[in-house]
Amino acid sequence: MAKDTMTLTNNATGESYEYDILHATRGPSVVDIRTFFADSGLFTYDPGFTATAACESTITFIDGKKGELRYRGIAIEDLAKHHSYMEVCFLLLNKRLPSKDELVDFDLEIRHRAFLHRGLQKLFDAFPDDAHPMATLSAAVTALASFYDEHVDIDDEAAYLEMAHRIISKIPTIAAFAYRQSLGIPFIEPDINLGFTENFITMMRAYPGGKMHLNATGHDHVKDVEVRALDTIFTLHADHEQNASTAVVRGVASTGAHPYVAISSGIAALWGRAHGGANESVIAQLEFIGSVDKVEAFIEKAKDPDDDFRLMGFGHRVYKNFDPRAKILKKLQDELRDELGLDTELMKIARKIEEIALSDDYFISRNLYPNIDFYTGIILTALKIPTSMFTPIFVIGRTVGWITQWIEFKKDETSKIARPRQLYLGE
C-alpha cells in the first residue's frame, strides 16, 4: 500500500530521508520538512519563498492557474457582486457571513469606533505639509499601539475582536487625516450617520461642517456609484493569502509585538512599487504615454527585448490566468464610465492598451493580462482620488486581512518566531 510520504535522497552520501505529505483541502499539498536540517544538516534554498508554505491557513485560497480567489471558501465574484465590504470584514473575522442583525450591530460598532484620540491627532502636526500619506499612516498606526497597550496580551475571543474592530474602524480616519494634513487643510471628523465607505469619501472631500463643494445648483454629494465602486475595491483588496506584506505582518506577529505595530509594518511593506504602490505607477505611465495615438509605439517598446520599457499593470506573480479581481474591476470601470459620463484621455489610453494586449500573441503567450493594479488606478482616478491616496486605499481594504492573519497566527499553537536561514558565500 502506498504511503503518504516523500523520500529525499542525497546522491552525494546515499542517505535518504522520509517526510510526511500533508494534504490541503484545496490546492497543492505540502511536504513537511520541519526536521530536514536536523536529519540532513542541510537547509532548503528557496529565494522569495516561491515553493514554501510557511503556515496553515483557512482564510484565503488562490488558484493562480484557474484564476480563482476565495475568502473563507466563498468565490470573490460572489462576494463582490452580492455583499458589502462590511460583510466581507465580518466573514474574514468570524469565518461566516453575518445575519441581518449581526451586520447592523457590526456596522454600528465600526462607525462609533472610527474616532481618534485627541493625543493621536496631535501627531499629524509633526509631519511636513507635503508628507506622503503612507508615511504618516504608518507612523500613526504605530503610535496607535501606545493608546491601546492592552492589546499586546490577548487571551479570549472578545478581546481579539475588539482589537480587530478598533483598527479596522480607525484606519480610514487616519488615512483621511493623513491626506488632509498633506494639503494643510482641517480634518473632517467621522460621521456616525454614514456607512464605512461613504464616510471615508466624505472625510477626504468635505469642507468644515461636513458639507461638500458648493456650486450654483447646490452642494455636491457622494454618488451611490462612487460608494459602490470604492466598496468593491476594498472587498477585492481585503486579503490575498501569503503575499509580501502579509508575510511581514505574520513575521512581526511572531516576535510578540503589538498587533498594531505588525499592521504598521505591513503598511510599510505595501508601500513598495512591486506591491501596493503599483497602481500609482500605472497612472504615471498612462500620463507619460500621453495620448491614444502613441499607444502602439509604446506597445512595440514593451515587446522589444532590448528596450527597458515595461507596461505597468500587466501580469501577476501568482495568477497565470486572468486575475479574477481584474475581471470584476473591468466591468466596474465600464459602469463608472456610463453612469458618471466619464471618458477621460487616460481612460481612452488604458482602453487602447487593454484592447491591443488582449489580442496580441506576445502578451497572451506570456500570460500578461491586465491585473488589479491596472484597473484600480484608472477607477480611483475616475473617482477623483489623487494618486498619493491610492496605496492608503489599498491599506484600508487590506487591514481586515492583515489583522485576521495576525489572529490566526497567534491562535496557532505550532507557530514560532520567523527565522529564515541563508546560503553563506562570504569569506
Same domain, 63 and 14: no
Same domain, 196 and 75: yes
Name residue 158's beta-bridge partners. none
Q: CATH code at 47?
A: 2.20.28.60
| Domain endpoint, select from 18, 37, 53 | 53
Q: Which DSSP string corresponds to 44-110? A: ---GGGTT------SSEEEETTTTEEEETTEEHHHHHHH--HHHHHHHHHHSSPPPHHHHHHHHHHH
d(CA 377, CA 284): 10
Same domain, 32 and 63: no
Same domain, 24 and 140: no
| Domain endpoint, select from 53, 69, 91 | 53
Establish whether 308 is a catalytic residue.
no
Establish whether 117 is a catalytic residue.
no
Same domain, 127 and 218: yes
Same domain, 35 and 154: no
Q: Which of the following is catalytic: 316, 334, 343, 360?
A: 316
Q: CATH code at 250?
A: 1.10.580.10
Burial 345-380 (b: 16+ CB within 10 A, else e): ebbebbbbbbebbeeeeebeeeebbbbbbbbbbbbb
Same domain, 38 and 133: no
Same domain, 220 and 158: yes
Three cell numbers, residue 122: 496631535
With respect to residue 98, please indicate whether it lies within any of the assigned structural domains.
yes
pLDDT of 338: 77
d(CA 410, CA 363): 42
β-pairing, 214-215 with 74-75?
unpaired
Residues 6+ apart with CB under 8 A from 1: none
Distances (CA, A) of 423 to 10, 15, 43, 95, 420: 18, 21, 8, 40, 11
Burial of 217 (0-12, 13-18, 19+ CB in 10 A): exposed
Domain count, the chain: 2
Residue with cell 491591443: 356
Tell me which residue range forms the domain holding 49. Answer: 5-53
Burial of 5 (0-12, 13-18, 19+ CB in 10 A): exposed
Q: What is the pTM of this model?
A: 0.93
With respect to residue 348, please indicate whether it lies within any of the assigned structural domains.
yes
Q: Which of the following is catalytic: 107, 231, 323, 373?
A: 373
pLDDT of 342: 66
Same domain, 44 and 142: no
Q: Which amino acid belongs to residue 20?
A: D
Q: Are 70 and 60 in contact (CB under 8 A)?
A: yes
| Domain endpoint, select from 13, 31, 53 | 53
Same domain, 309 and 227: yes
d(CA 414, CA 16): 26
Residues 6+ apart with CB under 8 A from 315: 366, 367, 368, 369, 371
Residue with cell 509605439: 297
Residues 6+ apart with CB under 8 A from 223: 339, 340
Q: Which DSSP string corresponds to 319-385? A: -SS--HHHHHHHHHHHHHHHHHT---HHHHHHHHHHHHHTT-HHHHHTT--B-HHHHHHHHHHHTT-
Q: DSSP strand E in 96-160: where?
A: none
Q: Which of the 8 DSSP states describes residue 401?
A: H
d(CA 129, CA 242): 35
Same domain, 101 and 156: yes
Low-confidence ranges of the chain (pLDDT < 50): none
pLDDT of 39: 95
